[in-house]
Amino acid sequence: MSLAPVIARAWRDNLLVSALVELTYACNLDCFYCYNDLGLPGAPLSRAQWERLFEDLAALQALQLTLTGGEPLAHPDFFALGRRARELGFLIRIKSNGHAVDEARALRLRDEVDPFMVEVSLHGARPETHDRQTRVAGSFERLLANLGAMARVGLRVKLNATLTAWNEGEIEAMFALADRLGLRLGFGATVTPRDDGDATPLTIAPSRAAVAHLYRVLGERSPDPPAGESCTPPPASEKNCGAGSSGIAVDPHGNVYPCVQWRRPLGNLHDASIREIWESSPVLPAVRGLTVEAKRRREGLGETGRWMSFCLGLSEQATGDPLGVEAGALTRAELLRRVRTGGGEAAPDPVTNAVPAGRPAAAAGERRRPLLPVIA
């Protein structure tokens, strides 16, 4: 029995499978393109409220729990919450900048939280490039030391990078660095505005040539979809994505959203439980309907749509309409189509790692390489 039909049914039947929680917006780095809304009004959730959320998510049978921030380890109760998440049986992903994960903390992560994956941000192949992004001198060297510590204690680690004008000359070097470290590197090409609408991060968006080059490099490295991303559409789904259908995101003040990118409030955990929000938010039916309409909209774009990452959150942010076709997405789709059709082999969209339809499903009962991200 394969996983893809299960995920398709989760999307169809609105079964909550995955939650991403931003424990705090506090951070020990100061990334230039950080998307967090640092002026977000409201009161932070207490430890008891986070624990209640985790318990409710487990009762709803959510499998994957992503702990992020800000820097999640900057939350004063991070390890207590991580232990509770482990007790509740979640498949835990941690998105961290890695700056605080020295050997002692790496050991605590392994022994107390036991995450399935720690995803760490890499901003360049050279100290000057990485530190320019983090705006903390020495952060690159410290990251390398901490990645070594995480490897020594046996944590599963993946690197994540975003292509920017600052690192676009280091694509091969960043992959070479990841290869030397023995780590997988997920590389996206989309720089997003901040969640409060501030477009400053877009000033370091990569050039078209660099995006095309990244697509070529990714295609040369692997025709297979790199695991570890979250927007791979399962086959035979009427929806564009699982936002609000199988996944949700929660910010530090308890606001619940369809996904981390789509900041349309569904409710607030100060006022209602996640079960109440999931089952009766007046916003969710519209959100789910929009994901159906987005799929149709993408299919209506023909060949370009096939290569396109249609993110309702980005579209809403860029155009005011979640079904609006964002110019950047069209550009990336066209670049990807040109690069990949020239190469001839079906391959994932490197922006989202969406896979063109038609990949064979695993035979019944066959064990599969983990496709964990598709449960998002």
Nearer to another protein, 8 or 329 (CB): 8
Residue 324 C-beta: closest distance to another protein, Å: 32
CA pair distance 235, 6, nearest whole angstrom: 11
Residue 295 C-beta: closest distance to another protein, Å: 21
Residue 156 C-beta: closest distance to another protein, Å: 8
Nearer to another protein, 2 or 273 (CB): 2
Nearer to another protein, 279 or 299 (CB): 279
Which residues of the chain form contacts with another protein (CB under 8 A)? Answer: 1-3, 6, 9-10, 13, 15, 17, 61-63, 89-91, 114, 116, 156, 367-372, 375
Residue 343 C-beta: closest distance to another protein, Å: 29
Residue 3 C-beta: closest distance to another protein, Å: 6
Residue 72 C-beta: closest distance to another protein, Å: 19
- Residue 226 has which token pair? 């790199």
**By the 8 A CB rule, do 186 and 159 touch?**
yes
Beta bridge partners of 184: 158
**By the 8 A CB rule, do 7 and 52 touch?**
no
Nearer to another protein, 180 or 367 (CB): 367
- Residue 341 has which token pair? 């059709």
Provide the pairing of β-strand 247-250 with 255-257: antiparallel
**By the 8 A CB rule, do 97 and 108 touch?**
no
The answer to whether the peptide bond before residue 242 is cis (omega within 30 degrees of 0) is no
Nearer to another protein, 208 or 368 (CB): 368
Nearer to another protein, 138 or 370 (CB): 370
Write down the residue that tokens 């931003």 correspond to: 22
CA pair distance 221, 235, nearest whole angstrom: 25
